[in-house]
Amino acid sequence: MKGKALRKYILLLLIGCGSDTVETPVDGECQPYSENYSHSVTYCGEHTVENIRNVFRVCNPRVQHSERAEGCVSDLMLKVMDDPDCDAVNICWRD
């Protein structure tokens, strides 16, 4: 997905999550191995829909490769950010 189509998808995803989710820094309580982990979002600038660069699911590092979710990305993706204006957050479902 590119451009407007990606933003529409993300907007629907965020609206769908609504208040049932919580957004935390990648070093916060919400981690890919947390039972209620949903996905991660990279923002460049303020945390608004217009500034979303990427939405992805990080692989749970505590499970074997063969048991990981299909299409998940390595947690190294969160550590390799060239732009100092960009940061990633993890989204977890509320308990």
Of the pLDDT bands very low, low, confident and very high (cuts 50, 70, 90), residue 75 is confident
Distance CA 16, CA 41 (A): 15
Amino acid at 48: T
Q: Is the pTM of this model over 0.85?
A: no
Task: Encode pLDDT of 78-91 as tens digits.
Answer: 666 678 888 889 99
What residues does each domain of the chain span?
Answer: 3-93
Are 43 and 52 contacting, i.e. CB atoms less than 8 angstroms apart? Answer: yes
Q: Is the pLDDT of residue 12 over 60?
A: no
Decide if pLDDT at 92 tops 90.
yes
Q: What is the pLDDT of residue 21?
A: 80
User: Tell me: the pLDDT tens digits for 13-67?
Assistant: 554 455 688 888 888 899 999 999 999 999 999 999 899 988 999 999 899 988 8
- Any idea what DSSP says for residue 3? H
Q: What is the pLDDT of residue 15?
A: 47
